[in-house]
Amino acid sequence: MMDVPGFRASVEIMEPLFKIAKQNRIFQDVVNQIEDAILDGRLEEGERLPPERELKEMMGTSRSTLREALRILEYKGLIEVRLGMGGGCVVKSVSTEQMSASLDLLIRSQKVTLNHLAEFREQAEGAVVELAAERRTARDIRELEGLLEEAGKCVERGDPAADEFIRTDQKLHLAVARMSRNPVYVSVLRTIHDNIGHYFERFLVMKQKEMRENYRDMQDIVRAVSHGETQHAGRAARMHVRRFNTYMNRFKEPAQLKKSEEQTP
Amino acid sequence: MMDVPGFRASVEIMEPLFKIAKQNRIFQDVVNQIEDAILDGRLEEGERLPPERELKEMMGTSRSTLREALRILEYKGLIEVRLGMGGGCVVKSVSTEQMSASLDLLIRSQKVTLNHLAEFREQAEGAVVELAAERRTARDIRELEGLLEEAGKCVERGDPAADEFIRTDQKLHLAVARMSRNPVYVSVLRTIHDNIGHYFERFLVMKQKEMRENYRDMQDIVRAVSHGETQHAGRAARMHVRRFNTYMNRFKEPAQLKKSEEQTP
DNA sequence: TGGGCTAAATGGTCGGACCATCTTTTCTGA
DNA sequence: TCAGAAAAGATGGTCCGACCATTTAGCCCA
């Protein structure tokens, strides 16, 4: 009834994120209980929940209600449900899958275009490479050089290795993201990669010429990161991503058409 | 049976995102059908789905199965379920709620700390302000000046208006994000704000001194954006966020304690 | 005319039954 | 003796039918 003055009022202007009511819904309570248990560490990754028929007794609900809760937990990525004997609900480690999925929804609802993603990615990769240049360890440098070598071999092998080349390129980007020591970047960039990949990779066909260009960018980035040349590394990364984006744009239209036109003669 | 060579193979290295099997699960099919209908525009925002008892007939499933599907759609933020007569499932517009929720999970699972968020935010706000400085319209400028005036009044009113000041500050940040004309930034920054707010706002108490500092930053940013001084605007925004972060850090510890310690006996 | 009461529509919960899938164990035949 | 096939059992997936709780719409009476 009474308002608590100035208490979390400032949250409300942004999103109605925290639902006040609806606690009447039992499955929501079940979700919260299990979620808390997982996040508090009372349930550890890999641990199995009791079978539904036991769990429903423990929580004093019906199986239907329990199952609605399990569906939500599954979709949240907190548990994995396996079928058959020896199956059941296994606690998963929280991952970035859900962020990818939500971003995917935004894209599919046409609130976000791939150019938006590309623009965002350009500066995010720039920033992440700058951080990596500051924080990289000797081990990191070795890893980058290994990936570079892998990419180099692909370039030599030419067009047939184009697919592997793109994979290696993305591995390098994610490796650099990890070197920023900031998991937010890793999650966000992985999400972006997932979504760009989801919509484009089928159409991307890289020729040796493009591979060579991209390879030079990679060399440049790795060198700058290794030497701790922050500014240079950032510029190089932004340039690299921009090159990829313009390249991607050449393939964009077919991807945004309907499926019927995917295989134009 | 047969493998299609090099087809979306490169996606798989990143996340096992796309589940191959489990299409045996009926509710998943129901989710897909309704989701597609919404994203294709066959179901529009605000439209009501038929009541469960009808829908189950249409889709040839049981009510339990249908309800598991509806739970997922609800959690995805695609529908909203209302109780009672005249209630039912209403199609919602896709929002960033879900990204906020997933990020929240990452934070609560301690994969992400608030310093990670702060570091990320610093550069994201910088980038977004630079874009805004390039793309702002006359109308945008008026909006910013309006918000600035609002903030100015709070500063004059002193400590009692601190809460409203913080709100206005965040409104300004979101307004600038919109001016980047890139919804990815809007979504990401809103997500970050939500989560920072969620964990901190209760503890943040701003005094007039801090308000004055922040107000000067805001003036600086608005001026630079208005005049299209890209570089300056970016620097100012980064500085502003950094100041907020260091300020925030002074309040950090209590927020990260367990609930049991919130109300020490 | 207005306010309260009733009825109906709709989601929420329950219990129990059976099906489908997978693992484990047991059985069978070489 | 051992490999492979068959049976058993555990567990999630689906279905049905009933009843409860909440909310709106409409009726009735003062």
Return the percentage of chain B with pLDDT > 70, whole number.
84
Query: Which whole number is the average pLDDT over B170-196?
Result: 93
Q: Which of residues 17-76 of A touch strand D (CB under 7 A)?
A: 24, 49, 51-53, 63-64, 67, 70
Q: Which pTM does this prediction carry?
A: 0.82
CA contacts within 13 A on the Cβ side of A110: 6
d(CA B80, CA B97): 13
A171/B9 touch (CB, cutoff 8 Å), yes or no: no
Q: What is the pLDDT of residue A24?
A: 80
Which of the 8 DSSP states describes residue A261?
Answer: G
Q: What is the pLDDT of residue A21?
A: 43
Q: What is the pLDDT of residue B202?
A: 65
Q: What is the pLDDT of residue A206?
A: 76
Looking at chain A, which residue has its C-alpha nearest residue B128?
Answer: A120
Q: Which of A25, A216, A249 is nearest to B71 (CA)?
A: A25
Candidate ranges A19-23, A29-33, B101-105; pick with highest mean pLDDT: A29-33
The continuous run of DSSP H or E covering A232 comes out as: helix A230-249
Would the Cβ of B226 be found within 7 angstroms of any atom in strand D?
no
Angle at A205 between CA A201 and CA A210, to 5 degrees: 115
Q: Strands B79-82 and B88-91, how do they pair?
A: antiparallel
Q: What is the pLDDT of residue A15?
A: 35
A10, A100, A185: residue with CB nearest B201: A10
B252: pLDDT confidence band, cut at 50, 70 and 90?
low
Minimum mean pLDDT range among A151-160, B69-78, B252-261? B252-261
**pLDDT tens-digit profile of B57-68?**
999 999 999 999
Label each residue of B125-152 as H, E or C: HHHHHHHHHHHCCHHHHHHHHHHHHHHH
**pLDDT tens-digit profile of A210-258?**
899 999 999 999 999 999 999 999 999 999 999 888 887 876 654 443 3
The continuous run of DSSP H or E covering A90 comes out as: strand A88-91
Q: Helix, strand, or coil here: B48?
A: strand
d(CA B246, CA B73): 40
Beta strands of B118-215 (E only): which ranges?
Answer: none
**pLDDT tens-digit profile of A32-82?**
999 999 999 999 999 999 999 999 999 999 999 999 999 999 999 999 999
- Phi, psi angle pair for A92, to nearest 5°: -100, 160
Q: What is the pLDDT of residue A135?
A: 98
Residue position matching structure tokens 């709070």: B154
Residue position matching structure tokens 């007039």: B208
**pLDDT tens-digit profile of A159-177?**
889 889 988 999 999 999 9
